[in-house]
Amino acid sequence: MEFLTLLLTGLLGLISPVGMVLDTVVETLIRDQVQAVESLQVRVDNAPSFRVVQGRVERVRIAGRGVVLVEGVRVAAVDVETDAIAANPRQLRAGTLRLQRPLQAALRVVLTQADLERALQSPFVTQRLRNFRFRLPGAQGQQLPDYQLASPQIELLGNQRLRVSAALQQQSQQLQIVVETGLELIDGRQIRLVEPAIAINNQPVPAQLLQPLVAGVQRQLDMDNFVTPGTTARLLALKVEQGQIEVAAFVRISPEAIAPSQ
């Protein structure tokens, strides 16, 4: 959200001496917020140009390739296209941002298997995995220990299926877990696991133990769990191909979601 606020403020607040917003302004803002980018194209549509002074832009289109967001986390492709943007011009000149109407944008993101493998080994992900605990399914009422997830790997199988493997560590004990599942998009807001299978130390997990675990995972794969108040996100497409995953989404941000700086 902070990155989006900075981008919009710079887009509408930085105007060239002839009153035109330069596409390079937005490009520079993006490059300043990421570690690296192989190629970046920005197109700002605004007619007539004087509307920029009024805090309005008709459309922004961004196409990035090989974007490294943080160390080790790379996105093969990201495309963004916004609807018209309207902000309070007086607050913009004061260095704050207040939208006058909701901001809507379409997003497309592509990750390769190599991108995912690097990300899983990156400091950004490994630091978060240290705080993640995994509990194996067991008989009803049985108290089982929590395991720490380590050495995760992912394989994009194609045909909407993927395989994830990892080590589960608990004190001196270590188990190997392999999860294979298909992914299906439900109503643009939830991802359903299709024909999931789990094996622990090469032993399949029985269906009666697998079902509650799958139900818990699917509750977490709801888009409402990943957005902040005032923001709506809907998945338009989810495509898992061999060696590549592609996601298309729609995002709507209400004016209240971006509060002006104090």
If asked whether residues 76 and 179 sit together in one domain, one would say no
Distances (CA, A) of 161 to 26, 121, 235: 37, 22, 18
| pLDDT above 50 for 18 | no
Phi, psi angles (nearest 5°) of residue 113: -60, -40
| pLDDT above 60 for 14 | no
If asked whether residues 247 and 165 sit together in one domain, one would say no
The per-residue pLDDT for 150 is: 86
- Whole-model pTM over 0.95: no
Range of the domain at 161: 127-137+145-224
If asked whether residues 10 and 112 sit together in one domain, one would say yes
User: What would the mean pLDDT of 163-180 be, rounded to a whole number?
Assistant: 89
Confidence class of residue 93 from pLDDT cuts 50, 70 and 90? low
Average pLDDT over the chain, rounded to an integer: 82
Nearest Cα to Cα of residue 243 among 176, 177, 159: 159
DSSP classification of residue 12:
H
Instruction: Calculate helix-pair angle for 23-33, 2-13, nearest 10 degrees.
Output: 160
Nearest Cα to Cα of residue 259 among 36, 97, 51: 97
If asked whether residues 104 and 205 sit together in one domain, one would say no
Q: Which residues on adjacent β-strands are paired with residue 151?
A: none
Please indicate, yes or no, if residue 103 is contained in any of the structural domains.
yes
**SS3 (DSSP) at 30:** helix
What whole-number distance in Å separates Cα of residue 92 and Cα of residue 98? 8
If asked whether residues 26 and 93 sit together in one domain, one would say yes
For 213, the token pair is 């675990």
